[in-house]
Amino acid sequence: MTDLFSVSGKTVFISGGSRGIGAMLAEGFVNAGAKVIISARKAAELHARCAHLQTLGDCTAIEADLSSQQGVEALAAAIKSLTTRLDVLINNAGASWGADIDSFPESGWDKVMNLNVKSAFFLSQQLLPLLRNAAAEDNPARIINIASVLAIMAQSGQTTYCASKAAVAHLTQAMSLDLMRHGIRVNAIAPGWFLTEMNQDFFATDAGKAYIQRMPAKRLGNIDELVGPVILLASDAGSFINGTVLPVDGSIRHSG
């Protein structure tokens, strides 16, 4: 059973790995014995996170801005300079944009769609040679896209973000059909609320605490509850799972 869920020795790349969900996943994979590569745009934050992860295991950092095609291609080239194979690609980098629908700018739409959807597709495309090198009939390579529970349910004030994550979910399903014959499985998780740097201030307020009490679980998710499902998808235990968008949300999608 331990071997079934093992990711030890696998080479794993995580975009947006310096904070939030990406940092949680990076720590989980490092602790599980994987060789982890992380990228992020903010150099100081990225290298601080990598230094912490290096105290736990094997981690390498690459500075990258995935908001443009040039940035995607530069990151792919940097990864190819480090390794000839990639067992697991986790497309996690993402953005949101807060603005009223009446005044939402085109620049905000482009930023959210480019980073959340376009970069996930083209980074996967650029890294297909490394994924194919790692793929074996009995041990497929994996692409795991980080969608959101807002790909499944809508939330006021998050129109563009909801649309982008729904696109990630459908992109996952379509890519899974194209890549299965190449020995690559493509799945996604749809996380609900986990405590991260981006939301910790809100959940410390009275409004945030009240929001938590309206959740079915009455609490936020913890790191193990996030890492576990992704380890499943990355390990031999998940080798026959393909084209799935797995909610990891404590049933918040059913709460209305």
Tell me, yes or no, if 161 is annotated catalytic.
yes
Contacts of 74 (CB under 8 A, 6+ apart): 64
Q: Of the listed 29, 161, 193, 194, which one is catalytic?
A: 161
**Residues annotated as catalytic (active site), given as ranges:** 161
